[in-house]
Structure 1
Amino acid sequence: MKLKKMLLVASVLAGIAAPAMAQEKYTVGYDNYFNGNSWSVQLSREFEAEAERNADTVDVIYTESEMKADRQVSNIEDMITRGVDAIVFTPISPTAVIPVLKKAEAQGIKIVLLASTIRSDDYDALVTVDDVDFGKAGAEWLAEKLGGEGRIIALNGISGISASDDRWEGAEAVFDAYPGIEVISVVDAGWDYAKAKVAVSNLLAANPEVDGVWSQGGSMTLGAIDAFDAAQRPLVPMTGEDNNGYLKRWAALESDGYESVAPSKPTWLGSEALLVAIDLLEGEEVEKDKVYEVPMITSENLSEFTRDDLSDSFWANTRLSDEQIRATFED
């Protein structure tokens, strides 16, 4: 029993008024799974900003896993040892963390999964968007734009991460429904500009006909555009994401006939995950799977999301202020 509760019980038993005491803070462990791209950096910053807004309610223990599943398991073990009340993290592996989460649950620690899920129900809440729908949305737009026929390239994120696997599951189901769509290659480009540019460059060299690019986003669509330019090939319809650098490029290319759509996985999920953790700790009823609809950026609303005054690294769907964005991504 914590000290505050012990004093309160002792006071009641002694028949005296309980002393006024400051609200006891919760201790929340947050594991930053990855700092390898600007989306993951902003996701983490959203959590930190929400923690700053709730500084009277929570103290946070921060760890980093650097995209290593074994390190994430070790970090969660350490949080359990340090007696946290809740753990918020993005699973790197859908299976590796399950045993350690069972240990946390046995000690009454609340578990909130952020933006990615696991293959068990050993958690209290999941905060994300529907990544299957994310993949479907871009694929349906591309298939319709091509009139149901064409040869396309698919750029995935990182195999084994549920977000990447689920997005491709959604897209593949759409493409399978169009016999005239041929997916000539599916590449894991890690949401990375350079990897996508190299992959698309190689595919263009080997394929004289490429009619479209389905991309999970990140910086991969920018890499694909530059690969087409370097190969002196006309741009084709491509899907993207709500990265500001991509939105700027899209807006600049619209007058040349370039067409795109950008499903979004908002970085404000990092903020929401902490709010859900606090609700759990305060005994509020929380939906176990809090799955938001996928926001969409189209040619009709592109100008509302594009920010020429902010860094290319900025992601449009955020709860951060402009000042916080500028501090996070100083050009």
Structure 2
Amino acid sequence: MMKLKKITGGIIATALITGLLAGCGTEKSSGNGSKDQDQIVIGMAMPSYEDWFTYLINGVEEYDKQHDDVKVTMVDAKNDSGKQLSQVETMITQGVDAIVINPVETNGLAPMVDEANEAGIPVIVVNRAPDEDVMKKIYAYVGSESLEAGTIQMEKVAEMLGGKGNVAIMNGTLGQDSVVKRTKGNKDVIKKHPDMKVVREATADYQRSQGITLMENWIQSGSKIDAVVANNDEMALGAILALEESGKRGNIIVAGIDGTVDGLKNVKEGKLNVTAFQDGYGQGKGAIETAIKAVKGEKLKDKFVNIPFELVTKDNVDEYLKKLGE
């Protein structure tokens, strides 16, 4: 696998399709020149070009560079669901062959999918899972099962705790499917252990800074906490910083999800005990491969194209750092 890096214009911004997405955000494409007659054009709507999404974008970029018969035109909604809707509507107007959506908010998917369906353009959703009604209307969902992530994360924490202890759960952005399922996976495991219980639970909005603040509040409350289990690495790293600053880390176990570079480095250093690696590169590549199948009219056996989560601890972290080119 090629080395992953932060997005710094790696997908070259061009005006390949006249007026495409003017005023609706940043457009990126790694194609060259105008559309060839036999070239498949895929519109890709991203919620952001920052943070974990850079791994997904790298997967798209590398695939696109290796296939001259495919052109991916990507836009950044800057976490604005209204802007993303406008961007998708412009893609429909321009007549792209397929649309891949990584939604800002999953509850905003329906109108985008409905408009694409009316235009006869197949839709692939990536990374953030749609609800059942939307799932029926799209060609496929490409992503990793968040319930699995929360389950394997908590199973490892339970093992490390010896099946007993007080757990604090840091939720990501409330309302997102990933938050609901990762937390459910956590709690389903805890239910199997009578001597384990959730003593604190609140959102830190998937942000490291909010993870620091939330952990500081929990420390000040005086609650006895044996493990902090976060919906992502960023919040987990925030919890670690707060614990270390207060001198309260001790033997508290801290677990995250995603397997970001920072997360993996902290696992290697022994600060973050557990993470579940989410293969963003694989999701990006898989989304484009699936979009091409949709354009070619191929039938899928399953609408859910699963890119599995993988448990990471200090014992196997080097393998995952290598995958990210570290």
User: Could you tell me which residue of structure 1 aligns to residue 255 of structure 2?
Assistant: 239
Distance 2:160 2:245 in 1: 24
- Give the secondary structure class of the aligned counterpart of 1:97: helix
CA separation of 1:46/1:293 partners in 2, compared to 1, >3 Å: closer, same or farther? closer
Distance 2:268 2:70 in 1: 41
What is the number of equivalent residue pairs in this alignment? 284
Once the two structures are TM-superposed, the CA of residue 80 in structure 1 deviates from its matched residue by 0.9
CA separation of 1:208/1:158 partners in 2, compared to 1, >3 Å: closer, same or farther? closer
2:149 to 134, 138, 146: 134
- Give the secondary structure class of the aligned counterpart of 1:260: coil
Question: Does the alignment pair 1:224 with 2:239?
Answer: yes
Distance 1:152 1:61 in 2: 44
Structure 1 stretches of at least 4 aligned residues deviating more than 6 Å after TM superposition: none
User: Could you tell me which residue of structure 1 aligns to residue 269 of structure 2?
Assistant: 252
Question: Does the alignment pair 1:173 with 2:185?
Answer: no
> Which amino acid is 2:235 matched to?
M
Residues 102-160 of structure 1 show CA distances to partners (whole Å, capped at 9, x for unaligned) of: 22112221111111121222210111111101111111111222222211211122112
CA separation of 1:274/1:259 partners in 2, compared to 1, >3 Å: closer, same or farther? closer
Residues 274-330 of structure 1 show CA distances to partners (whole Å, capped at 9, x for unaligned) of: 1111122123333311123321212321232235xxxxxxxx4x5xxx4xx9xxxxx
Distance 1:237 1:231 in 2: 16
User: Could you tell me which residue of structure 2 aligns to residue 196 of structure 1?
Assistant: 211
- Give the secondary structure class of the aligned counterpart of 1:184: strand
User: Could you tell me which residue of structure 1 aligns to residue 27 of structure 2?
Assistant: none
Decide whether the 8 Å contact of 1:93 with 1:118 is kept in 2: no
Between 174-183 and 189-198, report the one with greater CA deviation: 174-183
Distance 1:239 1:29 in 2: 36
Runs of at least 5 residues in structure 2 that lack an aligned partner in the other structure: 1-35
CA RMSD in angstroms comes to: 2.0
Distance 2:58 2:318 in 1: 25
Decide whether the 8 Å contact of 1:192 with 1:218 is kept in 2: no
Between 40-49 and 79-88, report the one with greater CA deviation: 40-49
Provide TM-score, normalisation by structure 2.
0.81
Residues 174-193 of structure 1 show CA distances to partners (whole Å, capped at 9, x for unaligned) of: 22333322212222223221
User: Could you tell me which residue of structure 2 aligns to residue 147 of structure 1?
Assistant: 162
2:74 to 56, 62, 65: 62
Decide whether the 8 Å contact of 1:225 with 1:235 is kept in 2: no
Distance 2:125 2:315 in 1: 33
Distance 1:44 1:259 in 2: 26
- Give the secondary structure class of the aligned counterpart of 2:199: strand
In the TM superposition, what are the counterparts of 1:12-91 in structure 2 within 5 Å?
24-37=38-51, 39-54=52-67, 56-91=68-103
Runs of at least 5 residues in structure 1 that lack an aligned partner in the other structure: 1-21, 308-315, 326-331
Decide whether the 8 Å contact of 2:267 with 2:314 is kept in 1: no
Once the two structures are TM-superposed, the CA of residue 164 in structure 1 deviates from its matched residue by 2.0
Decide whether the 8 Å contact of 1:132 with 1:167 is kept in 2: yes
Decide whether the 8 Å contact of 2:46 with 2:104 is kept in 1: no
Distance 1:93 1:82 in 2: 24
Question: Does the alignment pair 1:117 with 2:117?
Answer: no
